Structure 1
Amino acid sequence: MPRIVIGSFTPSVLLDVADRAGRLRERGLEVEEVPVTSSPAQFRSLIDEELDVALTSPDNVLAYRFNPLNPLGEVADVRIVAAVDRGMGLGLYGRPGTTAADLVGARVGVDVATSGFALALYALADSLGVARDQYELVQLGSTPRRLEALLAGSCTATMLNAGNELVAEQHGCVRLASGAEQLSPYLGTVVAVAGTARTEEARLLADALLETAREIVSGGLDDEVTESAARRLDLDDDLARRYLARLRDPRDGLVPDGDVDHGSLVKLVRLRTTYLPTPSDDGGDVLDAALEADSGLVSRHG
């Protein structure tokens, strides 16, 4: 039975439910999920074959495939196999009582300043009338780490999603701006690989996740999802039910067909070319190539 190592920022409830429901075993897969501390660390491990598959932001795939100025300083044959979700509650969250005006001069937490969620943060702050040069960026790593920093007062605001935002709200933190409202269409998580050695296993994994996603969206697996959310994300019963509702939300929940739609790719590319432009030799941007039909960004089935 093929064993694949999957790197994720926040423990994946969808992966856990797919495993417990037998969807992975049906496809002959054995998986090990390991936490990653940041997007550069995740892609370093993916490129070095320490990870077989990444559950990651599609913006990371854009950066490490097309932009030689990414944090690793090299481009690689990384590609998207399938879409998983549309952000899972992605939003700009502030400490209790924070308003948009409080962002001016504040410490705002990001994974790294060039990550996809950082670019989304810049756009959401702009929507509140707060420009990029009006707050101090602090690099705090993965989403769970940023949640800890927000609750500890190490930053005034940060981007949260995937259940972390629910915990923040339970502690009185406020959502200052919503990704679903400001960034749509958007993709939050995809299945990604480096090279072709593990493409078939990644496709089998994506098939298992998507079958599970369709069952969840259709109204099934309630108990399995809420139990997994409580166990893996340390959510109480109420938050676990809210997490289940989030999975089913068509605006920022699961993508049951796994389609990497063109509109979302355009949004991701425009975020990067707006906030982190990298001119190409032909006068455009290096990310423009990502939208070409033969870019190789998405590994199509068949």
Structure 2
Amino acid sequence: MPNRPLSVGVFSPSVLLRVARSVGLLQEHGVDVTEVEVESAPDQFRDLLNGTLDAAFTSPDNVIAYRFTPDNPLGRTGDARIMAALDRGLGLGVYARPGVTAAAQLRGTTVGVDAPGSGYAFGLYAVLESLGLRPPGSGRPDYAVRPLGGTPRRLAALLDGQCTATVLGAGAELRAQDAGAVRLAGLVEVCGRYLGTVLTAVGAHGVRAARPLAEALGTTARLIVRGELDAAVLRESRAALGLTAEQAARHAARLRDPDEGLVPDGTVDRRALRTVLALRMRHCPRDRSLATALEPERGLLEPRSR
């Protein structure tokens, strides 16, 4: 066992991680984990780069931004690497508050994002543009953007009326829909194959420390997709995400979905990662260095992920 638990930054509780712990797969791989909830991507990567966090569950776009793009919110970059793919979005889509029935009703309103220059925000812009709304930076945007932080905060803001729409997934979308929110469109249906969450660590030392976690998560995901851990998934979905029994069953089905669910072996789908990168390049066209971000010599992907 490690001398201390790995500190892993998450935006919301991870069912995958908790199932791995509950069925003994973390222990089997010699790893102990402490989940640390973070409010936003800048907070998460500040702690990663400073060494306060050992690893993180995050959007691959965040890893790209804090590895390659100096004008990220922190104004600094580091040796952030994608160690494993965790999921393909888990229902990630744009959801409008109760009472909004069409995208046209978002004109002149405020939508919520984690941070305006982040991957989920880019996905939101793409979805709303597909529905006829001009995004920020277009000269005449149809809506304003408000940074709200991680998924739990965006869900609360949507239901409290602090924003008219936001991006939700990973179980939060089920709670939103059952509270009357309307799903406008999903990222996968608009953008194509998508990579929602990855495991990241910084530098050689961080990668070595987190590698057993990547292996444990890959094994857990494979068993979940096979339907071999359904009882644990239902239990941990209810406990971690506050879902009802019916919502937990829907979330379990989502985890097994081949288009939006867990990645059974942790291997990064290059096509899905290109979707994420293309969204960033579309909204950050001046950063030409991103064109080669996926080349092996750039170091974004750990070898097991290629």
TM-score normalised to structure 2 length:
0.95
Q: Please give the secondary structure, in 2, of the residue aligned with 1:187.
A: coil
Alignment of 1:269-284 (within 5 A): 269-279=277-287
**2: distance between equivalents of 1:41 and 1:59?**
15
Return the letter of the residue paired with 2:241.
Answer: L
How far off is 1:223 after superposition?
1.0
How big is each residue's C-alpha offset from its partner over 1:120-147, in whole Å with a ceiling of 9 and x where there is no partner? Answer: 1111111111111110101111111000
How big is each residue's C-alpha offset from its partner over 1:32-86, in whole Å with a ceiling of 9 and x where there is no partner? Answer: 0010000000000000010000000000000011111111111111000000000
Q: In the alignment, does 2:149 pair up with 1:141?
A: yes
**2: distance between equivalents of 1:78 and 1:190?**
12
Partner residue of 2:188 out of 180, 183, 204: 180
| Match in the other structure for 2:97 | 95
How big is each residue's C-alpha offset from its partner over 1:159-206, in whole Å with a ceiling of 9 and x where there is no partner? Answer: 001111000001010100111211221100000001111212322101
**2: distance between equivalents of 1:27 and 1:217?**
20
Q: Please give the secondary structure, in 1, of the residue aligned with 2:298.
A: coil
**2: distance between equivalents of 1:192 and 1:68?**
18
TM-score normalised to structure 1 length:
0.96
| Match in the other structure for 1:85 | 87
**1: distance between equivalents of 2:131 and 2:233?**
34
Q: Please give the secondary structure, in 2, of the residue aligned with 1:129.
A: coil
Q: Please give the secondary structure, in 1, of the residue aligned with 2:282.
A: helix
Partner residue of 1:111 out of 106, 109, 114: 114
When structure 1 is superposed on structure 2, of 213-222 and 196-205 the one drifting more is 196-205
| Match in the other structure for 1:166 | 174
8 Å CA contact retained: 2:98, 2:159: no
| Match in the other structure for 1:57 | 59
Return the letter of the residue paired with 2:283.
Answer: Y
| Match in the other structure for 2:244 | 236
How far off is 1:27 after superposition?
1.3
Q: Please give the secondary structure, in 1, of the residue aligned with 2:205.
A: coil
How far off is 1:291 after superposition?
2.3
Return the letter of the residue paired with 2:106.
Answer: L
How big is each residue's C-alpha offset from its partner over 1:210-239, in whole Å with a ceiling of 9 and x where there is no partner? Answer: 111111111111111011010110000000
Return the letter of the residue paired with 1:40.
Answer: P
Return the letter of the residue paired with 2:206.
Answer: R
Return the letter of the residue paired with 1:28.
Answer: G
How big is each residue's C-alpha offset from its partner over 1:74-102, in whole Å with a ceiling of 9 and x where there is no partner? Answer: 11110000000000100000012311101
Return the letter of the residue paired with 1:74.
Answer: R
Ranges in structure 2 where 5+ consecutive residues have no aligned partner? 136-140
Q: Please give the secondary structure, in 1, of the residue aligned with 2:112.
A: strand
How far off is 1:301 after superposition?
3.2
Q: Please identify runs of 4+ aligned residues in structure 1 that moved more than 4 A.
A: none
8 Å CA contact retained: 1:122, 1:275: no
How far off is 1:278 after superposition?
2.7
Partner residue of 2:291 out of 288, 295, 298: 288
**2: distance between equivalents of 1:22 and 1:196?**
27
How far off is 1:277 after superposition?
2.2
Alignment of 1:122-137 (within 5 A): 122-132=125-135, 133-137=141-145
8 Å CA contact retained: 2:294, 2:301: no
8 Å CA contact retained: 1:65, 1:78: yes
**Count of equivalent residues:** 297
Return the letter of the residue paired with 1:117.
Answer: Y
| Match in the other structure for 2:223 | 215
How far off is 1:276 after superposition?
2.2
**2: distance between equivalents of 1:206 and 1:272?**
26
